[in-house]
A = this chain, B = another copy of it.
């Protein structure tokens, strides 16, 4: 199962067995049940989560109690509250399992150590962060141009098969549209 992480990294940089063993030694493997929280609003965020299997969502509730989904996490995704994780603050997001999840988690300190020790991992995380920015910019463009078709297509590209695994209400919450718009 840990090979999921190795394959994920090796799509960007090749690794020797020794390098992968070292990388893996900094992660903790942990299973979560459906509905369980990885991150809870108001708590310090100790870990970034690499999802090997399952499905999670990162979301925030607004003052009216309405949920807004920022991100889904499927296998081969990283999920956390990035602001809180990278700046060692308290979560403003919740990350919750929508299906049981198998994860590999890493503390901020260990992730920084890993990057300092192995430049190829600094390269790997730079490339991941850059690609994440590009993906988020594309999503912003869909949101500001308010093109419902583009928004939905962008979701399907970002999360293949997701529409079969979550409710229409959740997809609407991610797209920032009403549930009714989506059926229309």
A residues within 8 Å of B by Cβ? 60, 62, 66, 68-71, 82-83, 86, 115-116, 119, 122-123, 125-126, 129-134, 136-141, 143-147, 173-176
Contacts and interface: CB of A to CB of B under 8 A. Distances in A.
Contacts of A68: 141, 144-145
B115 A145 contact: no
What 3 pairs across the A-B complex have the smallest Cβ distances?
A144-B176, A129-B129, A136-B136
Contacts of A131: 86
Q: How many copies does the complex hold?
A: 2
A84 to B, nearest CB: 10
A180 to B, nearest CB: 15
A82 B140 contact: no
Contacts of A145: 60, 62, 66, 68, 176
A143 B140 contact: yes
A175 B60 CA distance: 20
B122 A70 contact: no
B176 A134 contact: no
B144 A174 contact: yes
A60 B126 contact: no
Contact of A122 (B60, B66, B119, B138): B119
Contact of A60 (B83, B125, B141): B141
Contact of A126 (B125, B136, B175): B125
Contacts of A119: 119, 122
Contacts of A143: 140, 143-144, 176
